[in-house]
Amino acid sequence: MINFTKMHGLGNDFVVIDAIGQDINLTAEQVHFIADRHFGVGCDQLLLVERPVRENADFKYRIFNADGGEVAQCGNGARCFARFVREKKLTAKDEVTVDTNAGQLLLRFIDGGLITVNMGVPKHAPEQIPLLMKDEAVQYSLEYDGGIVSFSALSMGNPHAVIQVEDVVSAPLETVGPWLEKHPVFSERVNVGFMQVVNRQRIKLRVYERGAAETLACGSGACAAVVAGIEQGLLDSNVSVGLPGGDLLIEWAGRGQPVFMSGPAVSVYEGQIRI
């Protein structure tokens, strides 16, 4: 039996497992089973809490999409990870450093029960995203269904494409989302955000996540959208991001600086599952 905690960050839901106090070695098929909403527990991603790799870290943070594939970054999951290790008394620190497959994250508890995550410095070079384009650009274009789709692209530890739209409700998420997610120019696939600029301090966003389709919230996607908007001169440095599941606050001071994301994390219930 595996002990787990069901958590969510703005409706982006997770199964979180302590792999320090339990012997955990899940296959992709087992992750997919746990994430199945009909036959398993059900979640957008499964998170593992492991012992750190580096001496200056407190934990290792691993993320698996619902399809069983391991990914390097998940912002909403990072906040839930922080809440989990505090609630399980795995740490008493107000700031927690975690190793990820994309580097290190700093998680900090702030007033009102919110958690701020230092998401690191965004990467724009095509080879760092990775994006199979020769030169870096603020916007890229691809042909689609007789027209042109323009998008920004960057990495927040995972690849993101951001498309500006007039209205997120009517955005072509169900068609353009999966098409761009699996387009050959993104060799590791891509998360696709549809961003509506409300004003210089506010955007609305929907995200088609690779391996998970649309979720109620995507923390790294919110970061990517704000970075893209600032790069285009559309947004200020502090932006409220309205997602289907609620709001996140994103701060970015510009090139070479880390992105800070603040928002809630909630524990829903604890359980056991037999694999």
Report the catalytic residues: 74, 218
Q: Is 210 annotated as a binding residue?
A: yes
Q: Is 118 annotated as a binding residue?
A: no
Q: Is 199 annotated as a binding residue?
A: no
Q: Quote the longest CA-to-CA distance of the chain.
A: 56
Strands 246-252 and 238-243, bridge-based pairing: antiparallel
Q: Is 45 annotated as a binding residue?
A: yes
Q: Is 65 annotated as a binding residue?
A: yes
Q: Is 143 annotated as a binding residue?
A: no
Contact call for residues 41 and 30 (beta carbons, < 8 A) = no
Q: Is 101 annotated as a binding residue?
A: no
Q: Is 152 annotated as a binding residue?
A: no
The residues that bridge with 75 in the sheet, in sequence order, are none
Give the span between the Cα atoms of 226 and 252, in whole angstroms: 8
Alpha-helical (H) ranges within the chain are 28-35, 75-87, 173-181, 219-231
Give the span between the Cα atoms of 59 and 49, in whole angstroms: 7
Q: Is 76 annotated as a binding residue?
A: yes
CA 8 to chain CA mean position, Å: 12
Give me 210's structure tokens.
Answer: 């690779």
Of residues 130, 90, 124, the one with CA closest to residue 107: 90
Contact call for residues 43 and 209 (beta carbons, < 8 A) = no
- Residue numbering of the annotated binding site: 12, 45, 65, 75-76, 158, 191, 209-210, 219-220
- Residue numbering of the annotated binding site for substrate: 12, 45, 65, 75-76, 158, 191, 209-210, 219-220
